[in-house]
Amino acid sequence: MLERIKACLPSLPPAEQRVGKLVLSDPRNFAKLPVSELADRAHVSKPTVVRFCRSIGYDGLSDFKLKLVGSVSEGVPFVHRSVDADDKINDVVVKVIDNAVAAFLKYRNDASTPAIDRAAEALVQAHRQGKRVEFYGVGNSGIVAQDAQHKFFRLGLNSIAYSDGHMQVMSATLLGPGDCAVVVSNSGRTRDLMDACDIARRKGASTLVITASGSPLASAGHVHLAADHPEGFDRYSPMVSRLLHLLIIDILATRVALRIGAQLQPQLKEIKNNLRSKRYT
Helix 165-173 to helix 191-202 angle, to the nearest 10 degrees? 10
User: Alpha-carbon distance 197 to 154, whole Å?
Assistant: 24
| Interstrand relation of 132-136 and 158-162 (parallel, antiparallel or unpaired) | parallel
User: In which residue ranges of the chain is pLDDT below 50?
Assistant: 78
Classify domain 118-274 at the CATH topology level.
Answer: Rossmann fold (3.40.50)
CATH class of 2-109: mainly alpha
User: Alpha-carbon distance 213 to 246, whole Å?
Assistant: 17
The pLDDT score that the predictor gives to residue 236 is: 59
Q: What is the dihedral of CA 227, 228, 231, 236, to 10 degrees?
A: 30
Q: Where in the chain is the domain with CATH 1.10.10.10?
A: 2-109
User: Alpha-carbon distance 168 to 199, whole Å?
Assistant: 10
Phi, psi of 159 (to 5 degrees): -120, 155
Q: Where in the chain is the domain with CATH 3.40.50.10490?
A: 118-274
The pLDDT score that the predictor gives to residue 78 is: 45
- Please state, in angstroms and as integers, the Cα–Cα distance from residue 63 to each residue in 15, 57, 60, 67, 87, following that order: 20, 10, 5, 6, 15
The pLDDT score that the predictor gives to residue 82 is: 64
How long a stretch of residues is the chain? 281
User: Alpha-carbon distance 145 to 142, whole Å?
Assistant: 5
The pLDDT score that the predictor gives to residue 151 is: 95
228-261 confidence digits (pLDDT tens):
876 665 555 667 889 999 999 999 999 999 999 9
List the Cα angle 239/241/242 in 5-degree steps. Answer: 70
The pLDDT score that the predictor gives to residue 120 is: 97
